[in-house]
A and B are shown apart, each in its own frame.
Chain A
Amino acid sequence: MLDVGNDSREDYLINILRLSEGGTAVGTSALADYMGVSPGSVTEMLKVLKREGYVNYEKYRGVSLTESGYRIARDLRRKHHIMERFLTNVLDMDKDNAHEQAHIMEHAISNDAAERICRITGTNVDPDCATCTDPCTDSVSPVSISISVVEMKVGDSGIISYLSTEDGSVARKLISMGFVPGREVELTSVVSEKGARVIRLGDATLALDRNMASAIFVDVR
């Protein structure tokens, strides 16, 4: 966890996470636009974050999170969602207001308190808890950056983190067959490098061709 008083660094990390979902590096100008700050101050902050080991950053190449930066960002976002859910579902606050409040609280609340609140609102798996078997606590455990099923090795298992594909029908088919973030998958065999992947999903075994398999991103254990 970063030291107290580093809200703005944490904001950078969480926003880089939001923009880089899907695995691509984020351009500094896109980040500046998104956060509503000047490109100059973005560059300054990125240099600091790079020195501290939270991001990979090179001029003109964009920025991506390192393992430790990623962990902090996900933790923050998990807290954000827990708070937002609590404010809307339990306190019946309207969602814009809740979002703003959650934005402040995500930096302040302790792990323990977040976990307790999460238990009140129910253990529904939220985007950031996607990798957790127990969504209220698990994201403190080490996470790794998601890789696509095509990059997995036979025997690897992990938890689906997100789907990324240009083709809407592929996503729909995958969702309806149960390839949904938060579920556990294991790669049981690969027919050939370009051929089908055989995947264990829950109690079922499914085969996907390379193209479909490449749309599924998994946090491998």
Chain B
Amino acid sequence: MIGQPNVGKSSLFSRLTGIGVISSNYPGTTVEFDEATVTMDDVTLHFHDLPGTYSLYANSDDEKVVMDMLRDSENDVILVVADSTNLESSLVLTIEVSELGIPVIVALNKYDIASRRYDVDIDGLSRVLGVPVVPVSSKTGEGVSDLLHAIAGGSAKVSDYRVMYDGHVLKYVEELMRIDPTITWGQAIKLLEGIDLRIDSVSQEVKDRISEMSEEFIGIHKEPMNMHLARDRYGDAHIIVMEVMVRKQTEPSRKDRISEMTINPSTGIPILIAVFLAVFGILIFVGDLLATLVDDAYVAVVGSALADFGYSAGGELGEAIFTGIDSSISAILGLVIPYIMLFYILLGVLEDTGYLPRAVVLLDRSMHRLGIHGNGFIPMMVGFGCNVPAVMATRVIRSRRERLILCTIICMAIPCSAQLATITGVTGKYAGAVWVLAIFAILIALGFFSGCILNRFLKYEPSNLAMELPELQTQSVRNILKKTWLRISDFFKLAVPLLIVGSIIIELLVHYDLLDSIVEPMSWLTVTLLGLPAVTIIAFIAGILRKEMSYGMLVILAASVGIEDITLFMTAQQFIVFGIVMSIYIPCLATMTAMYRELGAKDTVLVSLASMTVAVVIGSIFNLVLSAFM
């Protein structure tokens, strides 16, 4: 599945295959390919959802994923997903793809909107392009089964459409095909644009000839060939759209006015600030409410059942293990999950309305100071959910330097939802909401300084902001809930089993009196520098696995020494220091892996060590200052 950014490929992929993937209303949601298999009419279809790409050019790493897919794999059919509300631009990519000589089928997505605005001559479009065109709506599901039948029935065709290219270009193409008969027409066109789509690249002779041709062309036309070819495609696409689409009426422009207000600085900046205050306000206050409700519900439903079960199954040790499991699960369910869920719902709303790209535009200038562009804002927002997709989302940025700065800020200064939950739910609850704000302030300052410092010391690379602003839309509750579940299901699937294992290990260690001797060697860090109980080192190490494990382990550790009420285990001051260290130190394993893939080993190690150091330093300072005043 190929299409321009934000045309609805991932939504369509979910509809076609039933596999949930994240879709959001901004370009660059998908940066890696997803695959899934469905069986239709006894045919097994294997789909690949790809990142969006404006053209077959590969300007950034996410677009390279598409080019590699076109080059390396044997796709039987290319499903071009076109946005029927912006057909001209989608057609240009359709034409580019059609030229490659692979069977194509076109899905005219967002047809629910387009059919209200335009009369579209679908058959006419299909005739002109010489490939089947199926109108679909991934929102309502209309047309999706027709599309599946069409693909399964093998109706995709190699297009015979030819753009009216310049005479010189056509001559060049013929010549290239003569020099090397294995070059196809479509490949030759791409070669002239400076793109090699072949598996084994072309001979030096062909390369030399192409550079001669390019020079000659510029001499004649006073513009580079790639621009001329693009111009010809847009010319053709424009004519096709004029022929097959008639505008019905111009819609009332309330959306346009709201959109305008969000970008215009005098109204946009107050809106931006209000949105942020609202998000964090809701997170802190509604999160607290939700946490209490869930906790009460847990006590009412589960009660002492788990501990009783443990006792009947394994006596004293069994009871201890199950009490640990019980309290850590209730901690995760009651404290961590409500905040995480709430955050993802809020993020989902921001993503789906199409507001985020507008914030990007507003923030672009101010973010230059950190050495990054407005584009960095969306990965940062995603990072408040989980750092892994955030690190991957930096792919939309071309400059490696900016990606490094951004990843550093994401790992150090942006708390992921599990860390947010620990800060707001744990430190906030046991030490007071002021401390939540204090930690946020420290993190903001930290992000700012690390950005500024890296910006100073990394070699400058120019990079630019170019971002499509999608139409604002009313969000679908279904999509937001689906996304939220996709994003938090891991917490249930992974965190709960891990906590059970952790609880068993801890209880066994306590039972055999091994725990103290294990944590002792690190007490210079935990006790001396940070002023925390020595066993917290285990919570920190568990946090490297998954961040929400830290607090879960803390509860298990408290339970293991027979303390049910966590406030007796640590003081308010200790919760503050714990919260600070937790939100800064070493990214979790999954984030480190993602960073390793995106930036390589060296930078990953550096960022991890730096975050460790910074966390210990700030934690120790807090410990000292707080001890002096509290």
Contacts and interface: CB of A to CB of B under 8 A. Distances in A.
A26 interface: no
B466 interface: yes
Nearest to B462: A167
B235 A182 contact: yes
A169 B59 contact: yes
B139 interface: no
Interface string A180-215: 111100001101101110100011111111011000
Nearest to A202: B88
A212 B235 contact: no
Interface residues of B, number: 54
B243 to A, nearest CB: 12
Nearest to B5: A177
A194 B231 contact: no
Contacts of B168: 88, 95
Given A203-B85, A203-B89, A196 B464 contact: no
Question: Which of A123, A130, A191, A212 has the largest number of chain B CB atoms within 10 A?
Answer: A191
B365 interface: yes
A194 B265 CA distance: 13
Contacts of A192: 265, 365
Contacts of A89: 167
B92 to A, nearest CB: 7
Contacts of A127: 221-223, 228
B383 interface: no
A174 to B, nearest CB: 7
B88 A196 contact: no
Interface in A162-182: 162-163, 167, 169-178, 180-182
Nearest to B92: A178
A211 B374 CA distance: 14
B324 to A, nearest CB: 52
B394 interface: no
A100 interface: no
Nearest to A154: B264
A203 B87 contact: yes
A61 interface: no
Contacts, number: 141
Contacts of A173: 59, 464, 466
B230 A180 contact: yes
A123 B243 CA distance: 14
A182 B238 CA distance: 10
Interface string A63-95: 000000000000000000000010011000001
Chain A interface residue bracket vs B: 35 or more
A107 B55 CA distance: 39
Interface in B193-235: 220-224, 226-228, 230-232, 234-235
Nearest to A19: B222
A194 B368 CA distance: 12
Contacts of A189: 260, 263-264
Contacts of A170: 464
Interface in B144-179: 164, 166-168, 171
A206 B466 contact: yes
A173 B221 CA distance: 21
B464 A203 contact: no
B167 A209 contact: no
Contact of B226 (A99, A130, A162, A175): A175
B465 A208 contact: yes
B267 to A, nearest CB: 11
B361 interface: yes
Interface in B233-289: 234-236, 238-239, 259-260, 263-265, 268
B94 to A, nearest CB: 14
Nearest to A87: B167
A205 B361 contact: no
Contacts of B221: 127
A7 interface: no
Q: Specify which of B220, B232, B235, B268 lies most central, judged by the most chain A CB atoms within 10 Å of its CB.
A: B235
A212 B468 CA distance: 14
A18 B466 contact: no
A21 interface: yes
Nearest to B360: A207
Contacts of B235: 123-125, 182
B27 to A, nearest CB: 10
A130 B362 CA distance: 32
B190 interface: no
Interface in B462-506: 462, 464-469, 471
Contacts of B462: 167, 211
B348 interface: no
A53 interface: no
B262 to A, nearest CB: 10
A176 B59 contact: yes
A176 B469 contact: no
A183 B234 contact: yes
Nearest to B226: A175
Contact of B465 (A88, A167, A188, A209): A209
Given A189-B260, A194-B365, A198-B361, A209 B468 contact: no
B54 interface: yes
Nearest to A88: B167
Contacts of B364: 191, 195-196, 207, 209
Contacts of A183: 234, 238
B555 to A, nearest CB: 47
A208 B516 CA distance: 59
A117 B462 CA distance: 46
B373 interface: yes
Given A124-B232, A191-B361, A174 B88 contact: no
B64 interface: no
Nearest to A215: B464
Nearest to A201: B89
Interface string B356-381: 01001110110000000110000000
A177 B468 contact: yes
Given A169-B59, A181-B231, A99 B223 contact: no
Interface string B125-140: 0000000000000000
10 contacts: A18-B222, A124-B166, A124-B236, A169-B398, A174-B466, A175-B227, A191-B263, A198-B469, A206-B466, A207-B263
Given A125-B231, A127-B228, A195-B361, 14 more contacts: A88-B168, A130-B231, A162-B223, A163-B227, A167-B462, A169-B59, A170-B464, A175-B227, A176-B55, A182-B231, A202-B89, A204-B468, A207-B263, A207-B466
Interface of A: 18, 21, 85, 88-89, 95, 99, 122-125, 127, 130, 162-163, 167, 169-178, 180-183, 188-189, 191-192, 194-196, 198, 202-209, 211-212
The 5 closest A-B pairs by CB, nearest first: A88-B167, A176-B55, A209-B465, A203-B86, A176-B54
